[in-house]
């Protein structure tokens, strides 16, 4: 429940702190005392839209803090864990600040959050109902969820949602496969031509480097071979250098015998030179043999290399990527050959999934019809005590065309009323007057209270325009509702106020110095409660009879 509300610098409120209790909490006061400002402040803490006009004149920043104490089993704790928001001790503190330039900041347990997240959490904690409420029962967009929560058939709604998700997933797969097949069929000639071309080329990863190196080697060898041939020719011309050296060695050897060994060193050196020259010629001949190649081999190598590079340019890729491109074309051709089979399979699965979805929708629709009948009966039973005997309430289920069914089922749900016999049913806000609308909302909330998980309900002047027995019936139902949740009611009705477990008086005061006007809220003790209820009965002048009547109302 809401345990406290702290407001600073909101319009007429300077600084205000209210500690709330459980049960039926009554707030009353003269018209213009600031009750609407109190509701605006609470709405601000719940994530409602803000405007700079809420900031009190002459101040820079306004703030509202709403402190809640909740049961450990409330589903909000799981939500806060999912959002990584710390919490402890069963406490949730919502805070909102607003500056003169219109900037707003939101906090949950002192952790900065977005205003939308603050609104989501606020919706779990407080429901605010009034004659102009658009976030509660008057918003037809939420009627389906309200009916489903009342009917307590969660497994059926879950089954519809799961079946719809499965059907949607299969439909997306089918659309993708059909589009792929259509595209492949449109490009069939192109795919087959490129596949044949690449298959005949048979590209191998790394082949470009190998061919380029081989081509470079052969071209360099061709250039070197000519020069080495000339060198060898020079070495071998005129019987060759080796033969000339051998001839010289023989002559010197013959002469060596005449000079008693004088030429032996020369002969030995020339002999070594002749041997080295002979070895060099042999090595040169071997090198020339190794450099020999078939010109057709160079031609074939270049032809292969240029073909690979041309194919890479055609397909806008690197040469090493050509094997992957070949595989891609093979897969596209397989998709063409086997695509029809996959499409047929998915079509069959879609038919089965649609049947499952339709069966789930029919079951949910039947459960909704049953729950709607029960809800209508209970709400209409609340009408006579609220002096609306001629009014009728119905939960209108509008079937959708099968192609419009979605994850929430196959119908629109709207709460409708007819205020007079024979009058057509229509939406709550379109048909009912302010007082009637308030009573319809109250009747609905009384019936729905046991299924609601919101711990605090706020009714803003829901009893406006009614009095006497009707006001007493309103008070009785608010009291009954407070047994299921904390109820805050802003009221002008003494019959409603007399049933409160706690009572606060909202007053507008003026400071002597400066003439500034402020709104104050005071908790009333039993004596002050009696005086306030007497004022509500009598008006400006409280009489002895009014006090006696107030005491009687409180005692009853």
Q: Kindly tell me if the per-residue pLDDT of 134 is higher than 50.
A: no
| Helix 322-382 vs helix 188-201: crossing angle, to nearest 10 | 140
**What is the rounded average pLDDT of the residues 525-530?**
91
- Binning pLDDT at 50, 70 and 90, where does residue 555 land? confident
Q: pLDDT of 96-126, one tens digit each?
A: 999 988 899 999 999 999 999 999 999 899 9
Coil, helix or strand at residue 452: coil
Q: Could you give the CA distance from residue 518 to residue 368 in angstroms, rounded to a whole number?
A: 50
Neighbour-count burial of 382, counting CB atoms closer than 10 A to its CB (0-12 exposed, 13-18 middle, 19+ buried):
buried
Percentage of the chain exceeding pLDDT 70: 89
- pLDDT above 70: residue 259: no
pTM: 0.62
SS3 15: strand
- What pLDDT, in 10s, does the model give residues 163-213? 999 999 999 999 998 888 787 777 777 888 888 889 888 988 888 888 888
Q: Has residue 87 got a pLDDT over 90?
A: no
Q: What is the mean pLDDT of the chain?
A: 85
> 470: helix, coil or strand?
helix
User: Using CA atoms, how far apart are residues 242 and 475, in angstroms rounded to an integer?
Assistant: 134
d(CA 411, CA 399): 4
Nearest one of 99, 101, 110 to 44, comparing CA atoms: 99
Is 80 exceeded by the pLDDT of residue 249? no
């Amino acid at each position: 429940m809401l345990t406290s509300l702290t407001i600073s610098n909101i319009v007429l409120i300077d600084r205000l702190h209210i500690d709330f209790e459980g049960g039926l909490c009554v707030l009353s006061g003269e018209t213009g005392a600031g009750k609407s400002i109190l509701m605006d402040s609470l709405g601000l803490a719940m994530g409602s839209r803000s405007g700079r006009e809420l900031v009190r004149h002459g101040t820079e920043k306004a703030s509202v803090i709403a402190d809640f104490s909740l049961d450990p089993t409330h589903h909000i704790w799981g939500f806060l864990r999912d959002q990584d928001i710390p919490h402890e001790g069963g406490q949730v503190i919502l805070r909102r600040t607003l500056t003169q330039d219109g900037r707003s900041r939101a906090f949950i347990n002192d952790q900065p959050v977005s205003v939308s997240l603050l609104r989501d959490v606020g919706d779990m904690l407080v429901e605010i109902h009034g004659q102009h409420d658009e976030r509660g029962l008057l918003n037809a967009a939420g009627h389906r969820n309200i009916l489903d929560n009342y009917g307590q058939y969660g497994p059926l709604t879950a089954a519809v949602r799961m079946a719809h998700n499965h059907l949607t997933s299969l439909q997306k797969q089918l659309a993708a496969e059909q589009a792929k097949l259509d595209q492949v069929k449109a490009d069939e000639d192109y795919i087959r031509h490129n596949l044949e071309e690449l298959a005949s080329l048979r590209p191998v990863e790394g082949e470009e480097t190998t061919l380029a190196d081989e081509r470079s080697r052969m071209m360099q060898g061709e250039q070197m071979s000519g020069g080495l041939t000339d060198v060898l020719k020079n070495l071998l011309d005129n019987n060759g250098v080796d033969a000339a050296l051998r001839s010289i060695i023989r002559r010197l050897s013959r002469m060596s015998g005449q000079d008693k060994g004088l030429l032996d060193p020369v002969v030995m050196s020339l002999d070594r030179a002749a041997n080295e020259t002979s070895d060099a010629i042999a090595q040169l001949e071997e090198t020339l043999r190794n450099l020999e190649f078939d010109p057709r081999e160079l031609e074939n190598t270049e032809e292969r290399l240029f073909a690979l590079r041309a194919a890479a340019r055609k397909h806008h890729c690197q040469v090493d990527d050509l094997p992957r491109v070949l595989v891609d074309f093979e897969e596209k051709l397989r998709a063409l050959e086997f695509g029809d089979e996959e499409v047929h399979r998915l079509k069959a699965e879609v038919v089965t999934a649609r049947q499952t979805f339709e069966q789930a929708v029919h079951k949910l629709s039947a459960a909704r019809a049953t729950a709607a009948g029960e809800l209508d009966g209970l709400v209409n039973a609340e009408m006579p005590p609220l002096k609306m005997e001629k009014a009728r309430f119905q939960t209108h289920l509008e079937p959708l065309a099968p192609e419009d069914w979605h994850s929430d089922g196959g119908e629109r749900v709207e709460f409708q009323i007819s205020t007079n016999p024979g009058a057509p049913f229509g939406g709550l806000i379109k048909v009912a007057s302010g007082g009637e609308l308030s009573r319809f909302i109250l009747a609905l909330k009384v019936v729905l209270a046991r299924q609601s998980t919101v711990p605090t309900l706020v009714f803003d002047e829901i009893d406006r325009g009614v009095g006497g027995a009707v006001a007493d019936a309103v008070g009785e139902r608010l009291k009954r509702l407070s047994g299921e949740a904390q109820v805050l009611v802003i009221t002008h009705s003494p019959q409603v106020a007399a049933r409160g477990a706690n009572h606060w008086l909202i007053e507008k005061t003026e400071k002597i110095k400066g003439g500034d006007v402020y709104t104050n809220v005071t908790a009333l003790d039993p004596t002050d409660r009696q005086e306030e209820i007497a004022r509500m009965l009598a008006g400006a002048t409280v009489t002895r009879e009014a006090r006696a009547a107030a005491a009687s109302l409180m005692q009853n």
